[in-house]
Amino acid sequence: MQQRQNRPRLLQAMVDAFHLPDLRRRILFTLGMLVVFRFIAHVPLPGVNTQAVNQIFTQNALLGMLDMFSGGMMRNFSVAAMGVYPYITSSIIMMLLVPIIPKLQAISQEGEAGRNKINRITHWLTVPLGAIQAYGQIMFLHHQEVTSGVVVIPNVEPLVMATMILSMIAGTIFCVWLGELITEYGIGNGISIIIFGGIVSGLWQIIGQGWVTVGDNPLGFIGYLVIVIATIWLIVVFTEAHRRVPVQYARSVFRGGRMYRQGGSTHIPLRVNSAGMIPLIFSMSMVMFPGVVASYFMNPQGATPNFANHIYNIFNAGTKMPLGLVYWSLYFLLTVGFTFFYTSVIYQQQDLPGTLQKQGGFIPGIRPGKQTTNYLNFVINRITWAGALFLGVVAIMPLIANLITGISFAQLSSTGLIIVVGVALDTMKQMEAQLIMRRYEGFLK
C-alpha cells in the first residue's frame, strides 16, 4: 500500500489500467491497430520511384508540411498516402449539408437509425473524394519531372492511373476501418488516434533533422523547443477552458396524488475553443491552394521565373520575409474568420435556446425565447473572440518562433500540435472515466 502511494499519479494510473483485464485488452488492441496502420504506411504504390519522392519532399517545404499530416505516408507514397483525410473531408461536408438540405436534416432526426444512415452516406462520399485527391496527388508528383527534373512517376497511362487510384482509395478505406475498430474495441476516438499516430511518428524525424541543421545555433534550437512546450501548454489551457452559463430547471413531480413544482440548477459549459482544429485545417487548405495550383504552371528551376513562380513563392510557408508575411498574415486572418463561421454552424445545429425551452430550463434573469437566444449569441461571440485569436496565434507560432530563435521548422505545424494534444487529452479522459467507474484514481486531477 505504501509503495502504491509513493508512485507518481500518472504512473500509478497506468499500472491500475493494466491491472484491469478489459481495460488492458482495449489498450493492447489500440496499440495493435496502430502497429498495423504503421505497417500499411510503408507499403508503396507500384510504379513510383520512392527515392525520388523523398528527394522532392526534402526540398519542398510545402510538401513537407503535408507529409507531416500523413505521418510519412506521402513521402513513402504508400497505398495509404491519403490517410483518413478524404473521410474527414466527407464528414465536414456532411456536417455542413445536414442543416441545409431538408432531406438530410430529417434523416439526422431519426435517432440511432438516422445517424447510421448519415454515417453510411459519409462513407460512400469518401470514395469519390478520395479518387479526386488521389488523382491530384499522382498528377502533382508526376508534374515534378517538369519543375524539378526528378522523375517520380514515369508512367501515368490510364490503366496504371486507375490501379494507383483504386489502391489509394482502398488504403484510405482500410485506415477508416481500423479507426472504427479502435472506437468500438479500443480506447478513444479511432479516427483521431489514426491521425495522432501518423503525426507523432514523424515528429522525431523532424526534431532530428532540425538538430542536424541548426549548426552553430544550439541555443536557438533549445529556445525553439521551449516555445513548442509553451505552445502545448497554451493549447491545453484553451482546449479545457469554458464559460459556465447557469441554468434553472422547473420540474413537475407527482407525490401523494398531487403535483409539486421542484427546481434544479445546473450550467451550460460553452467552450472557448469549440471549433477545435477544424478552422486551422480549413485556413491551411485555403492558403496553400494557390501555391499548389501555381506549381503546375511554374517554370523549372534554372529557368526564368514566370508569374506562377511568384505566386508559388508568396503562398509557401518556407518563403523568407518580408514576402512570407503575406502567407502568414492570410493564414492568421483566415483562421480567425473560419473560427467564427464554424462555431456559428455548431451552435446553430445544437439549438441551445430551443433545447432549454423544451426541457423547461431558463437562464436566471433572462426571459425564455428571443432574449435567451440574444444572450447566448452574445456570450458565444464574446468567448469565440478569445478562441479565434488563440487559434490565430497558434497558426503563426512557427513564424513567431523563427523570428525569436532564428530556427525554422516549416514542417512543425501548429495544427499537428493541436491534433496531438487534443487526441491525447480525449483519450486520457476516456481512460479516466474507465478507472473512476472502478474506483481507481485516474490520469487527470
Mean pLDDT of 191-219: 71
Residue, of 289 and 342, whose pLDDT is higher: 342
pLDDT band for position 1 (50/70/90)? very low
CATH topology of domain 1-208: Preprotein translocase SecY subunit (1.10.3370)
Task: With beta carbons less than 8 A apart as the criterion, state whether 318 and 288 touch.
Answer: no
Contacts of 251 (CB under 8 A, 6+ apart): 261, 262, 263, 264, 360
Helices (H), 258-396: 278-294, 307-314, 324-350, 352-358, 370-395
- In the chain, which segments carry CATH 1.10.3370.10? 1-208, 215-406
CATH match of 215-406 with 1.10.3370.10: yes
pLDDT in tens, 390-434: 888 888 887 787 777 776 654 556 677 777 887 888 777 777 777
List beta partners, residue 398.
none
User: How far, in Å, are 225, 236, 390, 396, 421 from residue 231 at the CA level?
Assistant: 10, 9, 10, 11, 10
Q: What average pLDDT does the structure give for the chain?
A: 76
State pLDDT tens for residues 262-321: 556 777 888 888 887 778 777 877 787 787 677 667 776 666 777 777 787 777 766 677
Cα angle 308, 309, 310; round to 5: 90
Residue of 346, 352, 355 whose CA lies nearest to 373: 352
Overall pTM > 0.85: no
Residue 216 corresponds to which amino acid? D
DSSP state of 7: S
**Mean pLDDT lowest for which of 58-62, 102-106, 423-427?**
58-62
